[in-house]
């Protein structure tokens, strides 16, 4: 793992880039669900949202999440890092697992839309759209400030 230590700046850079792409999708997909649900509620055409949602998940979000996890786990494997990190690291990991679960929830919601009726109201999707930004704020504070 000495090799990871030598290239850790690159690994960290690609981790941050991956997380940025993942979070962009996590912020946007529920917004697409809002528009999709509203179009269905108003009996307006909504098929374009199905294509946009599928592409966002398949082309951006899934690969970005996988890359974020890979680069993040590589960073943790640096010699002595995990042992020297405080509770902030384990709290961050727990929140990232929660975000990954949220990602899975969004993927399931997209499949429910394909069944022909919005699984939830547009208001519901507006409310859950706040989950990723709140978790992002907490995670960034944990990483940068390392409060505990």
Task: Tell me the pLDDT tens digit for each residue of 73-101.
Answer: 999 988 777 777 889 999 999 999 999 99
pLDDT of residue 84: 75
pLDDT of residue 79: 77
How do the domains of the chain map onto residue ranges?
2-145
CA distance 60 to 24: 9
pLDDT of residue 78: 81
Rounded average pLDDT per 10-residue block, the chain, 148 residues:
75 97 97 95 93 97 98 88 83 97 97 90 95 96 92
pLDDT of residue 2: 66
Buried b (16+ CB within 10 A) or exposed e, 22-31: bbebbebbbe
Q: Give this prediction's pTM.
A: 0.91
pLDDT of residue 110: 96
CB of 100 closer than 8 Å to CB of 65: yes
């Amino acid at each position: 793992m000495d090799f990871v230590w030598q290239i850790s700046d690159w690994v960290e850079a690609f981790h941050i880039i991956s997380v940025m792409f993942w979070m962009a999708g996590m912020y946007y997909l529920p917004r697409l669900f809002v528009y999709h649900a509203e179009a269905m509620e108003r009996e307006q055409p909504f098929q374009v949202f199905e294509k946009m949602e599928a592409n966002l998940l398949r082309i951006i979000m899934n690969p970005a999440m996988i890359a974020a996890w890979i680069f993040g786990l590589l960073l943790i494997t640096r010699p002595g890092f995990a042992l020297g990190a405080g509770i902030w690291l384990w709290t961050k990991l727990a929140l990232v697992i929660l975000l990954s679960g949220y990602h899975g929830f969004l993927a399931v919601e997209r499949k429910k839309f394909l069944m022909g009726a919005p699984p939830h109201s547009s208001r519901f999707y507006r409310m859950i759209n706040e989950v990723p930004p709140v978790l992002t704020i907490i995670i960034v504070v944990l990483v940068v400030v390392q409060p505990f």
